[in-house]
């Protein structure tokens, strides 16, 4: 392989890593829902502060994560 090809491949790989890391970061300025999108119950203030942008209560989030793990 030519060095230019290897450099381009490395740059592409790094760009993908950077995008993945950026997408996983918590947006601390996001506004959380006051009520769960799944069950409609109020989302506790402590959860809303700890997980900015959350859309589900802790119980529904845990259930969704369990379902997601079974799909892999």
Range with the lowest mean pLDDT among 1-5, 61-65, 68-72? Answer: 68-72
- The residue extents of the domains of the chain are 3-71
Q: How far apart are CA 24 and CA 59, in angstroms?
A: 21
pLDDT digits (tens, 9 = 90+) for 8-60: 999 999 999 999 998 888 777 889 999 999 999 999 999 999 999 999 999 99
- Where residue 70 falls among pLDDT bands split at 50, 70, 90? low
pTM attached to this predicted model? 0.59
The reported pLDDT for the residue numbered 29 is 84
Three-state secondary structure along the chain?
CCHHHHHHHHHHHHHHHHHHHHHHCCCCCCCCCCECCCCCCECCHHHHHHCCCCCCCHHHHHHHHHHHHHHC
What is residue 51's DSSP assignment? S
């Amino acid at each position: 392989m030519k060095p230019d090809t290897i450099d381009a491949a490395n740059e592409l790989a790094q760009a993908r890593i950077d995008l993945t890391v950026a997408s996983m970061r918590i947006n601390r300025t996001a506004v959380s829902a006051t009520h769960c999108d799944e069950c409609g119950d109020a989302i506790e203030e402590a959860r809303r502060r700890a997980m900015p942008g959350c859309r589900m209560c802790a119980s529904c989030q845990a259930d969704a994560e369990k379902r997601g793990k079974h799909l892999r």
